[in-house]
Amino acid sequence: MKSISGKELAKIPERKCWVLRRIKGSHHIYVKEEVPVRISVPIHGNKPLKSGLLKHFMKVAGIDEGEL
């Protein structure tokens, strides 16, 4: 799996109709009307996200590996 940073990942949900609800510290919180969960993407410079966290975001947001 490709390793990406939180900055790079934060751009992808917006293309899939997720809305940036708020920013709290270094976390961007995204919501989507028909989905009862929210996504909290940590933006810590250009540090890559850990693979388990990245897989979770991809599953919740409906992101394919090819979109990374």
Q: Which domains does the chain have, with CATH numbers?
A: 6-67 (3.30.920.30)
Residues 60-66: contacts with CB under 8 Å, at least 24 apart? 60/35, 61/12, 61/13, 61/16, 61/18, 61/30, 62/16, 63/12, 63/13, 63/16, 65/1, 65/2
**Model-level pTM?**
0.82
Per-residue pLDDT of the chain (68 residues; tens, 9 = 90+): 788 998 888 888 888 889 999 999 999 999 998 889 999 999 998 899 999 999 998 898 888 888 87
Name the residue among 38, 43, 33 with its Cα closest to residue 57: 38
